[in-house]
C-alpha cells in the first residue's frame, strides 16, 4: 500500500511513472526512520529521495544545501510542480525572511532549504526546534568531507543536528564519494547504523578525453568548433585571473562566453547564472564556484583547462554534462605545472596533516587518470570500487589508444626496491634508493648496499613517479599506511617480478591527436521521432513561457519531455500526462499551449 502511495506522488507531482536506481529502497529506509547514505550518479534523481518522503510524512523536511543559487533553483522547481517549499538564507531581506518564516510556521511549506551555517546559528536552531521535523537531508554531502576539512568548518559540525533533533532520521546524498569519503561523511554526521546505497557511477553517455596541454586556447577552440558549435557548455579553470582571460579570448574568437567566479560582484554572478539558465547557447568559464547542483539537463560539454584536485572533483564537475542522458563530452588538457599549483594551494589550507596526506594521494590518483593507458571509464569506476570487465568504447583511450612503451623492466626495478627495503617506505624514499641518492637516511639504513641501489639512476624522478602512480592505479602496489603513505606489494605484483606479465605505460607526447569517432556536434544528432521541426517549435514555446514566468526554460520542461511530446503527439490532457516529466501541476499550467502546437503540426 505504501509503495502504491509513493508511486502516485511520483507521477502526480513529478510526472514520472517509475522510480530509478535505488530511489524506492532509499525512500522506504527513510520512512522506516533509519539514517541513510545514498550515492547516486549526477542526474540520477537524488532530490526525489527526500522530496517524496517530505510529501508523504507529516511535519517539515529540512534540506541542508551548500549554495544560495542551488536553494533558489530547487525551490523554484518545486513550486512549478505545485509543491510548497521555501528557503532561509543571508540573501533575503527582512520582509522575504518574515514571509518564509510565516510559511513554515503555518505548516504550508513542506520543504525548507537552509545552509549549514544558517541551520547551526542560535536563532535558526531555536526556531526549528519548535517545529515537527520529519527528516534532515544533507544535499551534496561530499562537502561534509571535502569542504569541512578545508574552508567551511560548519560542515563538520552538522553532526550536532543529532543532538538538536533526536530521533529524526538523516539522509546524506552525493554523486561522488569513494569508500573512505563515505566513512568520513557518516562519521562527521554521527550517523548510527546507517544503511548505505551505492548506485552505479557509470555515465555511459559521456565521452572522456584527456590530452596534454600545448596551446590550450587553440586546442579548446578546435574542440568546440568540431563538436559543439551551437551547444551550452562549462569550462573550468583554477584561478579567477585565468577565468577572465579565457572568457575574453573565447569572446574575441566569436563564442558566447561569460566569466563566473567568486570575485565578481553579486550582481554579475546573478546575471551570469540567469544567462546560463535562460540562453539556449551559452558557455560559462568558471572556477569551481559555479555549477554545484545545477539542474540544467542539456549541458553538452564540460571542459577543464586545469587539473581538478581529485577524481571526486573531476567526476562531480564532468557529471554536469548530459544530465538528460544524451551524448556529451568531458574534455581536459593538463600539464605537470597543474600539480605544482594544486600542491601549493593544498599546503596553504588549515586542514590537519593527515587530511593533507590523503589529499596528496587523491591528487596523484587524478594525475594517474591522465597518464593511464587504461580505459578512462574503467579507471573511474575502479576508483569508486565498481569493477567493469569491458572497455567502454566511448573514451579517447578506447577510440584512439595512446602510443605505449614497454616499462616492464622499470616496473620490476621499482617493485624489487619496495620488497628489498621491507615495504616500509614512501615514494620519495624509494626513488632516492633507485636513483643512487647519497641521502643520509639511505646510507644509515644500509640501503646503499642493496642490489637495487642506483639501478634507476638514468631515469628522472618524474619518470619514477609515473611508474609508481601507474602501479598504484593498476593495483600492483598499495598504500600500506595512510599516515606515512608507505608502499607495499599486492598479490598482482608477482607475475611482473617473475617476468610472466608485461607492464605498458603511456609514451609522453605533446602532439594533439584528432579523435576518430564521435565527430558530430551532439546537438546535430537527430532524435528517433524524426520530428525535429516540431521539436524546435516546442522549444520556442518553452522559451516564451519561461520568459513570461521569469524561470529557466528547462524548469518548464526538459528537452527529454519535448522529445517525448514529439514521439507521443498527445491530443488531450490525459495523453499529455503520459509525457515524461509532466505532473498534475504542469499539465494544468501548460498542456493547452503545447497540445495546440502539436495538433496544428499533426
Residue 225 CA: distances (Å) to CA of 58, 209, 251, 330? 52, 16, 14, 15
Class level of CATH domain 2-198: alpha beta
Q: How many CB atoms lie within 10 A of CB 542?
A: 23
Count of H helices and E strands in the chain?
28, 17
Residue ranges of alpha helices (H) inside 395-502 are: 396-399, 408-420, 427-434, 440-444, 461-473, 493-497
> Cβ-count burial of 323 within 10 angstroms (0-12 exposed, 13-18 middle, 19+ buried)?
buried
Residue 291 pLDDT:
63
Residue 412 pLDDT:
95
Q: HSE of 551 in the Cβ direction (CA atoms, 13 Å)?
A: 22
206-396 is a CATH 3.40.50.300 domain: yes
Which of helix, strand or coil describes residue 329? Answer: strand
Q: By the 8 A CB rule, do 64 and 138 touch?
A: yes
For the chain, the straight-line distance linking the first and the last C-alpha, in angstroms and rounded, comes to: 41
Euclidean distance between CA atoms 113 and 66, whole angstroms: 10
- H or E element at residue 129: helix 122-129
Q: Which fold has domain 526-601?
A: DNA polymerase; domain 1 (1.10.150)
- Give start-end residues of each CATH 1.10.10.10 domain in the chain: 404-506
Residues 6+ apart with CB under 8 A from 113: 63, 65, 71, 74, 75, 85, 86, 87, 88, 89
For residue 558, give the C-alpha cell. 526538459
Residue 483 pLDDT:
65
Q: How many CB atoms lie within 10 A of CB 511?
A: 8
Place of cell 560582484: 265
Euclidean distance between CA atoms 538 and 593, whole angstroms: 9
Length of the chain: 602
Residue 156 pLDDT:
79
Residue ranges of alpha helices (H) inside 57-121 are: 68-80, 94-105, 116-120
- Give start-end residues of each CATH 1.10.150.80 domain in the chain: 526-601
If you ran DSSP here, which 8-state letter would residue 395 be given? Answer: B
- Give start-end residues of each CATH 3.40.50.300 domain in the chain: 2-198, 206-396
Class level of CATH domain 404-506: mainly alpha
For residue 230, give the C-alpha cell. 551551437
What is the rounded average pLDDT for all residues in the chain?
Answer: 86
Please give the model's pTM, rounded to 2 decimal places.
0.68
- H or E element at residue 223: helix 216-227
207-219 CB burial, b ≥16 within 10 A, e <16: bbbbbbbeebeeb
Q: Any idea what the Cα angle at residue 553 is, between residues 235 and 113, rounded to 5°?
A: 80
Residue 118 CA: distances (Å) to CA of 95, 112, 127, 172, 190? 18, 12, 11, 18, 19
Q: Which residues of the chain have pLDDT under 70?
A: 1, 146-152, 289, 291-294, 336, 350, 482-484, 508-528
Amino acid at each position: 500500500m505504501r509503495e502504491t502511495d509513493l508511486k502516485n506522488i511520483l507521477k502526480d507531482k513529478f510526472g514520472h511513472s517509475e522510480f530509478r536506481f535505488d530511489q524506492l529502497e532509499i525512500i522506504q529506509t527513510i520512512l522506516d526512520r533509519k539514517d541513510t547514505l545514498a550515492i547516486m550518479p549526477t542526474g540520477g534523481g537524488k532530490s526525489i529521495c527526500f522530496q517524496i518522503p517530505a510529501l508523504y510524512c507529516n511535519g517539515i523536511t529540512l534540506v541542508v544545501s551548500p549554495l544560495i543559487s542551488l536553494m533558489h533553483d530547487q525551490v523554484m522547481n518545486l513550486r512549478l510542480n505545485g509543491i510548497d517549499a521555501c528557503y532561509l538564507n543571508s540573501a533575503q531581506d527582512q520582509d522575504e525572511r518574515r514571509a518564509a518564516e510565516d510559511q513554515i510556521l503555518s505548516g504550508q511549506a513542506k520543504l525548507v532549504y537552509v545552509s549549514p551555517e544558517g541551520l547551526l546559528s542560535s536563532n535558526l536552531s531555536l526556531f526549528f526546534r519548535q517545529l515537527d521535523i520529519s527528516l534532515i537531508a544533507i544535499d551534496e554531502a561530499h562537502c561534509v568531507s571535502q569542504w569541512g576539512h578545508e574552508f567551511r568548518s560548519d560542515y563538520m559540525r552538522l553532526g550536532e543536528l543529532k543532538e538538536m533533533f533526536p530521533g529524526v532520521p538523516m539522509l546524506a546524498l552525493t554523486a561522488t564519494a569513494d569508500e573512505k569519503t563515505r566513512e568520513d561523511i557518516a562519521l562527521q554526521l554521527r550517523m548510527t547504523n546507517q544503511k548505505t546505497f551505492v548506485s552505479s557511477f557509470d555515465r555511459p553517455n559521456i565521452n572522456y578525453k584527456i590530452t596534454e596541454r600545448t596551446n590550450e586556447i587553440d586546442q579548446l577552440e578546435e574542440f568546440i568548433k568540431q563538436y559543439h558549435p551551437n551547444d551550452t557548455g562549462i569550462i573550468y579553470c583554477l584561478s579567477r585571473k585565468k577565468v577572465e582571460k579565457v572568457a575574453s579570448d573565447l569572446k574575441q574568437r566569436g563564442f558566447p562566453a561569460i566569466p563566473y567566479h567568486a570575485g565578481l560582484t553579486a550582481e554579475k554572478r546573478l546575471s551570469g547564472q540567469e544567462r546560463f539558465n535562460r540562453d539556449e547557447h551559452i558557455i560559462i568559464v568558471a572556477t569551481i564556484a559555479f555549477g554545484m547542483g545545477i539542474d540544467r539537463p542539456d549541458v553538452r560539454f564540460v571542459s577543464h583547462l586545469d587539473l581538478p584536485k581529485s577524481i571526486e572533483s573531476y567526476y562531480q564537475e564532468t557529471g554536469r554534462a548530459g544530465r538528460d542522458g544524451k551524448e556529451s563530452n568531458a574534455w581536459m588538457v593538463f600539464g605537470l605545472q597543474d600539480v605544482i599549483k594544486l600542491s601549493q594551494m593544498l599546503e596553504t589550507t588549515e586542514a590537519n596533516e593527515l587530511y593533507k596526506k590523503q589529499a596528496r594521494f587523491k591528487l596523484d590518483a587524478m594525475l594517474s587518470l591522465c597518464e593511464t593507458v587504461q580505459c578512462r571509464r574503467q579507471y573511474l569506476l575502479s576508483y569508486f570500487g565498481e569493477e567493469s570487465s569491458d572497455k567502454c568504447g566511448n573514451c579517447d583511450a578506447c577510440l584512439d589508444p595512446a602510443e605505449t612503451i614497454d616499462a616492464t623492466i622499470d616496473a620490476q626495478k621499482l617493485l624489487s626496491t619496495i620488497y628489498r627495503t621491507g615495504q616500509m617506505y614512501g615514494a620519495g624514499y624509494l626513488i632516492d634508493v633507485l636513483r643512487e641518492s647519497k641521502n643520509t637516511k639511505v646510507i644509515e639504513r644500509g640501503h646503499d648496499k642493496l642490489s637495487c641501489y642506483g639501478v634507476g639512476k638514468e631515469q628522472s624522478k618524474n619518470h619514477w613517479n609515473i611508474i609508481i602512480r601507474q602501479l598504484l592505479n593498476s593495483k600492483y602496489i598499495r598504500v600500506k599506511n595512510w599516515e606515512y603513505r608507505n608502499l607495499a606489494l599486492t598479490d598482482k605484483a608477482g607475475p611482473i617480478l617473475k617476468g610472466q606479465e608485461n607492464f605498458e605505460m603511456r609514451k609522453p607526447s605533446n602532439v594533439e591527436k584528432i579523435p576518430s569517432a564521435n565527430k558530430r556536434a551532439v546537438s546535430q544528432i537527430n532524435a528517433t521521432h524524426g520530428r525535429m521541426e516540431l521539436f524546435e517549435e516546442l522549444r520556442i514555446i518553452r522559451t516564451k513561457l519561461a520568459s513570461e514566468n521569469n524561470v529557466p526554460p528547462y524548469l518548464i520542461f526538459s528537452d527529454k519531455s519535448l522529445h517525448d511530446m514529439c514521439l507521443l503527439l498527445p491530443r488531450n490532457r490525459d495523453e499529455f500526462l503520459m509525457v515524461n516529466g509532466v505532473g498534475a501541476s504542469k499539465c494544468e499550467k501548460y498542456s493547452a499551449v503545447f497540445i495546440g502546437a502539436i495538433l496544428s503540426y499533426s
